[in-house]
Amino acid sequence: MTPILYAVLALLISVNVLLGLPKAVDLIQTQVSAKNTAEAPKIAGVEKRILMPKGHGIFAPTFTASAVIAKDIDSDTLLFVKDPDKRVPIASTTKIMTALVALDYFKPNDVLTAFDLSQAGGSSMGLKTGEQLSFRAILYGMLLNSGNDAAYTIAENYPGGISGFIDAMNNKALSLGLSNTHFDNPAGFDSPNHFSSANDLGKIAETAMNNYQFARVVSTKETEVSSLDKSMIHPLKNLNKLLDDPGVLGIKTGTTPAAKENLVGLLERNGHKILTVVLGSDDRFKETKELTDWVFINFTWE
């Protein structure tokens, strides 16, 4: 091969190498980027990392309440307990279970009729005998005003009436594995055969808060509902005073002479949801606030 041909061939090889450099550089950069991407946490299809609460030994407040729990929802960890399995009267926190059973059966626009309201004394949403409302309206009246008339109207319209509804409440308790719970009325009136525990009521509350319709209702501060014919307007206001506090998501109050003051609450703060159950208290709102404040003073998550 002549020197001229060698020179031409060498020139062609050099040009091809130079032309290939950008592709080679691109390939190297692509490989580096791919490596970095692979090391980054994936979002789709990967479960949320659960942070565990770590206590720092700060003493909890003392409570007049007879039974108390505080629970970190994400890690399923009890942060505080006081007689968590003690059977106690639970007043209108009963209506959390009433709502659960009703939501399993009724649709929002189902029409319910207020029949015999003679058993439904105490707190009320103001129903009149014979009045017809949607199930959605009745649910708001039961969970905001804690209407006993609403609870009994739901039970009366259930298959089998009040007795059928109470059976369904107890069957629901069995299905949730609750060993310290029994119901004999849908409103929460005091009775030797009507009781639950802080642990059991916490499980009922967690189940209920997984239902979007329930969670929306118990987070509502006030609203109004009407009868189907618009002849009756019912202004409703939530009895849970803590809804005015940042991060409070609900859920239900209750008071009777035997049960004293009760509050099941859910608070989200700093990305953590804390469920509280305070039963048999002299001051449910104060003690619930003290409990949740202590949780975030005493625990960090890692």
pLDDT, tens digit, for every residue of 45-90? Answer: 456 789 999 999 999 999 999 999 999 999 999 999 999 999 999 9
Of the residues 71, 95, 252, 260, only one is catalytic, namely 95
Does 95 qualify as catalytic in the annotation? yes
- Residue 217 vs residues 70, 112, 153, 176, 185: alpha-carbon distances, Å: 22, 18, 18, 22, 22
**For residue 7, what pLDDT is reported?**
46
Does 3 map to a domain? no
- Work out the average pLDDT over 120-133: 94
The least confident of 83-87, 117-121, 136-140, 218-222 is 117-121
- Residue 130: alpha-carbon gap to chain centroid: 33
> Where do the H-state alpha helices sit in the chain?
3-39, 94-105, 135-143, 148-156, 161-175, 198-209, 212-218, 284-298
pLDDT at 1 over 70: no
**For residue 121, what pLDDT is reported?**
86
pLDDT band at 9 (very low <50, low <70, confident <90, very high): very low
pLDDT at 40 over 90: no
Full domain range(s) for residue 126: 53-301
Does 46 map to a domain? no
How does pLDDT run across 228-284, given as a tens digit for each residue?
Answer: 999 999 999 999 999 999 999 999 999 999 999 999 999 999 999 999 999 999 999
- Say how far apart CA 139 and CA 119 lie, in whole Å: 18
Does 172 qualify as catalytic in the annotation? no
- What is the greatest pairwise CA distance in the chain? 118
pLDDT at 287 over 90: yes
Of the residues 66, 71, 82, 92, only one is catalytic, namely 92
Does 271 map to a domain? yes
Does 17 map to a domain? no
- Say how far apart CA 81 and CA 227 lie, in whole Å: 43
Does 146 qualify as catalytic in the annotation? yes
Of the residues 66, 123, 134, 146, only one is catalytic, namely 146
The CATH number of residue 70's host domain is 3.40.710.10
The percentage of the chain sitting over the pLDDT mark of 90, rounded to a whole number, equals: 81
Supply 98's token pair: 């009433």
pLDDT at 32 over 90: no
- Work out the average pLDDT over 137-157: 98
In the chain, how many domains are there? 1
Is the bond preceding 13 in cis, omega lying within 30 degrees of 0? no
- Residue 216: alpha-carbon gap to chain centroid: 10
Does 43 map to a domain? no
Does 13 map to a domain? no
**How many residues in total does the chain contain?**
302
Does 4 map to a domain? no
Mean pLDDT of the chain: 88
- Residue 31 vs residues 25, 236, 272, 282: alpha-carbon distances, Å: 10, 62, 38, 66
pLDDT band at 20 (very low <50, low <70, confident <90, very high): very low
Cβ(254)–Cβ(260) below 8 Å: no
Does 41 map to a domain? no
> Mutual orientation of helices 161-175 and 94-105 as an angle, nearest 10°?
100
pLDDT at 120 over 90: no
Pair type for strands 233-237 and 248-256 = unpaired
